[in-house]
């Protein structure tokens, strides 16, 4: 069983939902990434989504685009991202790490080499935004023997046929994009999310994570009540951007934000008895 599957199973047994923050590797400087990853886990993150900086992040809004630009100024490459994961694993061998990015850097490295080095570094899953399942067989053939999960996106406009296709292709969990548009958009409609998750669950037993548009403890709590995981990206990265000139402040205030999300999620989903147990 993969680290991702183990984590979701443990959370299920506790009656809790996964909290998955996103950060861009190397933002605002490479030395910040690993200490921040550890601080996020300590503050209640269950899975870490680590963005691979890319020069043309088409699915990302301006906040995460600027994060990639800041990282690229430090020449952060896919190889360096893997080195950061390896450094994180020196102290944490339990928390799942998912790489989120685009196909070009993986193709440049080569599928087999990437899969081998990612597994050796301690990566658990890969979400390649611009790789549809119809074209993913070659990459999946490299990832699967190395026990790396392949995570795919679904959206509010995904028809039934596409849901079935991704349900067959995905492993680890499925990432449901709760909004039409890019990361950082607003107007989260939890009723629409609830209805779509019900439709998706008819085709898969994989955990369903919801991301895009979750920027507050209140929104995180609402989504936690209907999803298996709450994924928070732009709200985290925006705070990092505001403190980019003072990275030490990031290491305190961003984990504090994650702790507030965790507390709100647990209040929304745990019974008083289980909440007491979870706090011990």
Q: Is 242 a catalytic residue?
A: no
What is the spatial distance between Cα 226 and Cα 249, in angstroms, rounded to a whole number? 33
Q: Is 60 a catalytic residue?
A: yes
Task: State the residue for tokens 């929304």.
Answer: 268
Q: Which is catalytic among the residues 27, 46, 49, 222?
A: 49
What are the residues whose beta carbons fall under 8 Å from the beta carbon of 253, sequence distance 6 or more? 239, 243
CA dihedral angle for residue 27, residue 30, residue 36, residue 41, rounded to 10 degrees: 100
Q: Which is catalytic among the residues 46, 60, 124, 149?
A: 60
Task: State the residue for tokens 């919801």.
Answer: 210
Catalytic residues: 49, 60
């Amino acid at each position: 069983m993969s680290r991702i599957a183990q984590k979701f199973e443990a959370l299920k047994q506790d009656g809790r939902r996964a909290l998955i923050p996103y950060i861009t590797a190397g933002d605002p400087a490479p030395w910040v990434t690993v200490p921040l990853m550890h601080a996020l886990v300590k503050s209640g993150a269950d899975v870490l989504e680590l963005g691979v900086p890319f020069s043309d992040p088409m699915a990302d809004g301006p906040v995460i685009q600027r994060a990639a630009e800041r990282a690229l100024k430090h020449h952060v490459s896919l190889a360096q991202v893997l080195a950061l994961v390896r450094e994180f694993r020196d102290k944490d061998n339990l928390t799942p790490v998912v790489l989120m990015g685009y196909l070009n850097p993986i193709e440049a490295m080569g599928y087999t080499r990437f899969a081998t080095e990612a597994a050796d570094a301690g990566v658990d899953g890969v979400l390649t935004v611009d790789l549809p399942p119809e074209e993913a067989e070659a990459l999946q053939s490299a990832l699967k023997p190395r026990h790396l999960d392949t995570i795919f996106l679904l959206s509010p406009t995904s028809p039934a046929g596409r849901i079935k296709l991704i349900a067959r292709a995905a492993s680890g969990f499925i990432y449901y994009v709760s909004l039409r548009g890019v990361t950082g958009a607003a107007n989260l409609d939890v009723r629409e999310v609830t209805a779509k998750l019900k439709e998706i669950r008819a085709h898969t037993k994989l955990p369903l994570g919801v991301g895009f548009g979750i920027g507050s403890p209140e929104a995180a709590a609402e989504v936690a009540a209907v999803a298996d995981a709450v994924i928070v990206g732009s709200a985290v990265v925006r705070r990092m951007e505001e403190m980019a000139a003072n990275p030490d402040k990031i290491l305190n205030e961003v984990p504090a934000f994650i702790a507030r999300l965790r507390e709100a999620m647990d209040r929304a989903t745990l019974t008083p008895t289980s909440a007491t147990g979870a706090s011990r």
